[in-house]
């Protein structure tokens, strides 16, 4: 099976409001896939379907060959251990040291003896260049370091997929580039797949293999990163060149302005 995750005709509505309107996409094994889209296009909703937190109104998400909405809570919980997640807010426990933050998911989800947990924690921290930071408290870390600890923690249970939601938000250019390179390095060294949801095109273009552009609940463009860079597709161009107006409108939908000014309708 080449695809780790498959999204098939996925629809989602919050009440009457349709947000995902037939998304099709795949995350192949070994690849880093970018998902781009303007604010409100449905990216977070899509990610919540990747993890089985939401039920589709129609369509399905299959992860490692299993349709998520058909699983029991126990089955879903077990399968989720194969997904690591890193969000914009690192989610570290502020009253636990870096070491204890890292050990937590291992103690929760395995019966490994403490010496093995220690070796694993130090190995995972070493992979993000922070082995020596294990005694520090989260408040003693810079923003970039905190994000790297969260990345190391996302790899704790040996996931097959890591999902990064806005991993670059609020970082200085050096930390941003470090995090981007680490996403690629971890992906390749661990032989996993990665999904990166971001607005930060410049950095992500350097590390993603394939990009999906989402607008108004559907995929409007997709392709290998190299193809996308030269694409003439108006959506892709608007994103790549950060144009404020284009297919994604600057103005909230409204009546024509002259009509409004002369008080018609």
Ligand X SMILES: Nc1ncnc2c1ncn2[C@@H]1O[C@H](COP(=O)(O)OP(=O)(O)OP(=O)(O)O)[C@@H](O)[C@H]1O
Q: Which of 31, 43, 80, 148 binds ligand X (CB under 6 A)?
A: 43
Q: Does 85 bind ligand X (CB under 6 A)?
A: no
Q: Are 90 and 145 in contact (CB under 8 A)?
A: no
Question: Cβ closer to ligand X: 44 or 97?
Answer: 44
Distance, CA of 61 to CA of 69 (rounded, Å): 8
* Segment interacting with ligand X (CB under 6 A) among 32-40, 105-113, 119-127, 243-251: 32-40
* Segment interacting with ligand X (CB under 6 A) among 33-41, 61-69, 146-154, 220-228: 33-41
Closest Cα partner for 200 from 187, 215, 211, 185? 211
Q: Does 45 bind ligand X (CB under 6 A)?
A: yes
Q: Does 42 bind ligand X (CB under 6 A)?
A: yes
How many other CB atoms sit within 10 Å of the CB of residue 35?
29
Is the sign of the CA dihedral 239, 241, 245, 250 positive or negative?
A: positive
Question: Cβ closer to ligand X: 31 or 43?
Answer: 43
Residue 115 class from Cβ within 10 Å (0-12 exposed, 13-18 middle, 19+ buried)? exposed
> Residue 14 Cβ, how far from ligand X at the closest point, in Å?
3
Question: Cβ closer to ligand X: 41 or 194?
Answer: 41
> Residue 216 Cβ, how far from ligand X at the closest point, in Å?
9
| Residue whose entry in the numeric block shows the structure tokens 């969000």 | 87
* Binding-site ranges for ligand X (CB under 6 A): 14, 19, 37, 39-45
């Amino acid at each position: 099976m080449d695809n780790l995750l498959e999204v098939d005709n996925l629809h989602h509505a919050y009440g009457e409001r349709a947000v995902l309107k037939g998304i099709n996409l795949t995350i192949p094994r070994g690849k880093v896939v970018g998902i781009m889209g303007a604010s409100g296009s449905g990216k977070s909703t899509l990610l919540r379907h990747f993890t089985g937190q939401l039920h589709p109104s129609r369509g399905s998400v299959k992860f490692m060959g299993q349709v998520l909405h058909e699983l029991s809570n126990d089955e879903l919980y077990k399968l989720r251990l194969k997904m690591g997640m890193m969000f914009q807010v690192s989610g570290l426990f502020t009253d636990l040291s870096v070491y204890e933050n890292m050990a937590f998911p291992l103690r929760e989800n395995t019966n490994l003896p403490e010496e093995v947990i220690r070796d694993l924690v130090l190995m995972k921290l070493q992979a993000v260049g922070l082995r020596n930071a294990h005694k520090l408290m989260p408040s003693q870390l810079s923003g970039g370091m905190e994000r790297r600890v969260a990345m190391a923690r996302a790899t704790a249970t040996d996931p097959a997929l890591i999902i990064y939601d806005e991993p670059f938000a609020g970082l200085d250019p050096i930390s941003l580039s470090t995090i981007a390179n680490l996403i690629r390095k971890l992906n390749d060294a661990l032989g996993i797949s990665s999904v990166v949801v971001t607005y930060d095109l410049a950095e992500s273009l350097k590390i993603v293999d394939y990009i999906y552009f989402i607008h108004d609940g559907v995929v409007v463009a997709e392709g290998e990163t190299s193809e996308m860079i030269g694409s003439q597709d108006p959506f892709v161009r608007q994103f790549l060149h950060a144009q404020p107006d284009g297919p994604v409108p600057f103005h909230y939908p409204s009546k024509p302005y002259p009509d409004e000014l002369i008080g018609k309708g």
